[in-house]
């Protein structure tokens, strides 16, 4: 008796599945959608309600003009059925807009920011103002840099000095973003803040952070000279970073409101006294690593 009940129950469950499937198929568009799937009807029958969800999402995608108009449950993704042996698995597949977006933003994975605003990843050489003649030699140098880097000629970075807000950070970031598109990993470090956070990481990931920056294939030390100088930051941080990068021919960029001469003075005076020799040694390393350039221009900060 138990067996017969089981069979009857099973049959009625199956009938219900068939009915709801047939109901759904009375919608011609839905029927068309499921017949394009490489899945047999006897399998499809078991998934009517999920297939209906997938159908709605695919229909949304068909009429969609861009990710901003996405109507699906997970923005940029489409609920999609796929046959796996005798079952259907549903997953969220990136739509064509999302794919494009992911592809366009893939370079950001190659950019490591340390205390820099994340919008800096959007800086682009295409957007660089051309109204300003002082940018021309810098842009020319960037082209040369890219060319030499491609040929593995180990180009030098820049020591870019100039007034506050003239666009130094933006310019170098635009080049580094371009290098990231070429799959080169770059670290962009807001140097004064990096020093502060490095100091407070003695007990934790000090070595990891320090080594990451030291060995990054391309490095920007942004706003050098704006930090509070100490013997530690000059002799234990900056010195070894520059030494390593020089020995390994790793391109290094600096931006600063100070000229190299002014930086030398700033580096020589620390809270523990004056040491011109150590400051000079740092400046020598910077000179070996970079070409000095100046960006004079109006303050672009709003």
List residues binding ligand ADP (CB under 6 A). Answer: 127-129, 162, 164-170, 255, 300-301
* Closest separation in Å from C-beta 218 to Mg ion: 17
CB of 298 to ligand ADP, least distance (A): 10
Taking the C-alpha atoms of residue 211 and residue 194, their distance in angstroms, rounded to an integer, is 13
Q: Give the residue from 28, 39, 18 showing the smallest Cα distance to 89.
A: 39
Which of the listed partners (Mg ion, ligand ADP, none) does 23 bind, with a CB threshold of 5 to 8 Å by partner kind?
A: none
Q: How far is the CB of 185 from ligand ADP (least distance, A)?
A: 22
155 binds, among ligand ADP, Mg ion, none (CB under 5 to 8 A by kind): none
- Looking at beta carbons only, is 109 or 164 nearer to Mg ion? 164
Helix crossing, 48-62 with 2-25: angle to 10°? Answer: 20
Return the number of the residue (72 or 255) whose C-beta is nearest Mg ion: 255
- E-only strand ranges, the chain: 77-84, 87-94, 111-114, 157-162, 186-190, 218-222, 252-256, 269-270, 273-274, 290-295
Q: What is the DSSP string of 133-185?
A: GGGHHHHHHHHHHHHHHHTT----EEEEEE-TTSSHHHHHHHHHHHHHHTT--
**CA angle at residue 102 from 97 to 104, to 5 degrees?**
95
Query: Cα dist. 169→39, 81, 158, 178 in Å?
Result: 55, 47, 12, 14
Residue closer to Mg ion (CB basis): 224 or 242: 224
Identify which range of 18-26, 161-169, 211-219, 278-286 contacts Mg ion by CB under 5 A: 161-169
Least distance from Mg ion to the Cβ atom of residue 295, Å: 10
The one of ligand ADP, Mg ion, none whose footprint includes residue 49, by CB under 5 to 8 A per kind, is none
Instruction: Determine the angle formed by the axes of helices 2-25 and 28-35, rounding to 10 degrees.
Output: 110
Return the bridge partners of 274, or none.
269
Q: Which CB atom, from 110 or from 169, has the smaller least distance to Mg ion?
A: 169
Q: Which of 110, 161, 169, 252 binds Mg ion (CB under 5 A)?
A: 169
Min dist CB 296 to ligand ADP, Å, is 10
Piece in contact with Mg ion (CB under 5 A), picked from 88-96, 111-119, 163-171, 245-253: 163-171
Which residue lies nearer to ligand ADP by CB, 52 or 122? 122
167 vs 251, beta carbon nearer ligand ADP: 167
Residues that bind Mg ion (CB under 5 A): 169
């Amino acid at each position: 008796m138990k067996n017969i009940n089981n069979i009857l129950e099973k049959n009625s469950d199956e009938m219900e599945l068939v009915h709801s499937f047939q109901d759904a198929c009375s919608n011609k568009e839905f029927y068309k959608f499921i017949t394009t799937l490489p899945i047999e009807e006897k399998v499809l029958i078991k998934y009517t309600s999920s297939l209906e969800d997938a159908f709605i999402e695919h229909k949304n995608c068909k009429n969609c003009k861009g990710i901003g108009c996405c109507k699906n449950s997970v923005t940029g993704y489409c609920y999609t059925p796929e046959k796996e042996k005798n079952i259907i698995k549903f997953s969220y597949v990136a739509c064509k807009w999302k794919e494009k977006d992911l592809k366009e933003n893939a370079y950001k994975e190659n950019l490591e920011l340390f205390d820099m605003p994340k919008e800096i990843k959007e800086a682009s050489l295409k957007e660089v103002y051309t109204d300003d003649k002082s940018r021309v030699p810098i842009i020319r140098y960037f082209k040369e840099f890219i060319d030499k880097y491609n040929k593995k000629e180990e180009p030098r970075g820049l020591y870019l000095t100039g007034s506050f807000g003239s666009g130094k950070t933006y310019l170098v970031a635009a080049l580094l973003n371009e290098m990231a598109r070429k799959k080169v990993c770059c670290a962009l470090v807001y140097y004064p803040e990096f020093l502060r956070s490095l100091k407070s990481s003695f007990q934790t990931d000090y070595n990891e952070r320090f080594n990451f920056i030291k060995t990054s294939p391309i490095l920007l030390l942004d706003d050098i000279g704006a930090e509070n100088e100490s013997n530690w930051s000059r002799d234990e941080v900056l010195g070894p970073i520059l030494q390593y990068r020089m020995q390994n021919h790793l391109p290094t960029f600096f931006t600063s409101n100070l000229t190299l001469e002014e930086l030398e003075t700033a580096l020589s005076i620390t809270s523990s006294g004056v040491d011109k020799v150590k400051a000079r040694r740092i400046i020598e390393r910077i000179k070996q690593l970079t070409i000095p350039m100046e960006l004079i221009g109006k303050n672009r900060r709003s």
